[in-house]
Amino acid sequence: MTKKTTIIVSIILLALLSIKSTYAQYGYYDKNMSFGLVFNPNMSFLSYGDAEHFEGKSKVGYAYGLVADFGFDRNYYFSTGLTINTLMSERNTNLSAIESNDPALALSRTYRIQYAEIPLSIKLKTNEGNLGRFYGQFGLTTGIKVSGKEKVDKSGKYSGLSGDDIFRLGLLIGAGGEWRLTNSLSAITGIAYNNGFTRTMKQGSPKLSYLSLQVGLLF
């Protein structure tokens, strides 16, 4: 883990612990607040919009981290946390659209970009039954780039990616279930789509989106 990632994780943990202490002080914590650990495989792709030269191909990545749900009304929760999200994607070139003789354009490239992401979303949860409950989720994700690498033409090793943007914003929508295992432990399963609406890198100005499975434990 890089120094930048360690600092971000420490800040988020301190903030969550502070909120937890405040909720516990006023007796609201026990039934309206929960923390969890998640591991989310994802399938991400680059969308080039009107760019004629390039087309994106999806690849598999993953994310891991913390999730925290804070109840502010019956069945309504503010959901946040911190995940380290590794997004993989491939850029292929539409050769028929190339008008220049630049050989760099004719090479396919595989990108591996890692973000520290903080979701800012609302969860709507059903009343809890014997087995658990269902939820729907809608909101935003804010991301800060931790690392960016590329591999040229499916050969060789990954090297540093130049021209990639530091920040990423995305629109989050998802649904899933919380399955009761014990009185204080539930399993999380769900699916979410994250639509990126900020530029990922300069060349081609693509936007990076992904579909993810949500798997974890909620305490």
Mean pLDDT (whole number) for 197-215: 92
Judged by DSSP in three states, 101 sits in: coil
Mean pLDDT (whole number) for 69-95: 89
* Residues contacting residue 96 through CB under 8 Å, at least 6 positions apart: none
Mean pLDDT (whole number) for 172-190: 95
CA distances to 62, 91, 100, 112 from 103, in Å: 32, 15, 9, 22
- Measure the CA–CA gap between 109 and 8, rounded to whole angstroms: 29
**Is pLDDT of 96 > 60?**
no
CA distances to 64, 109, 146, 186 from 97, in Å: 39, 17, 33, 52
**Is pLDDT of 199 > 60?**
yes
Element housing 173 (H / E): strand 167-182
Mean pLDDT (whole number) for 65-73: 94
Domains and CATH numbers, the chain: 32-218 (2.40.160.20)
pLDDT of residue 128: 87
Q: Average pLDDT of the chain? A: 84
Residue 57: which pLDDT band, with cuts at 50, 70 and 90?
Answer: confident
Instruction: Name residue, tokens 């994700």.
Output: 141
Judged by DSSP in three states, 103 sits in: helix
pLDDT of residue 6: 60
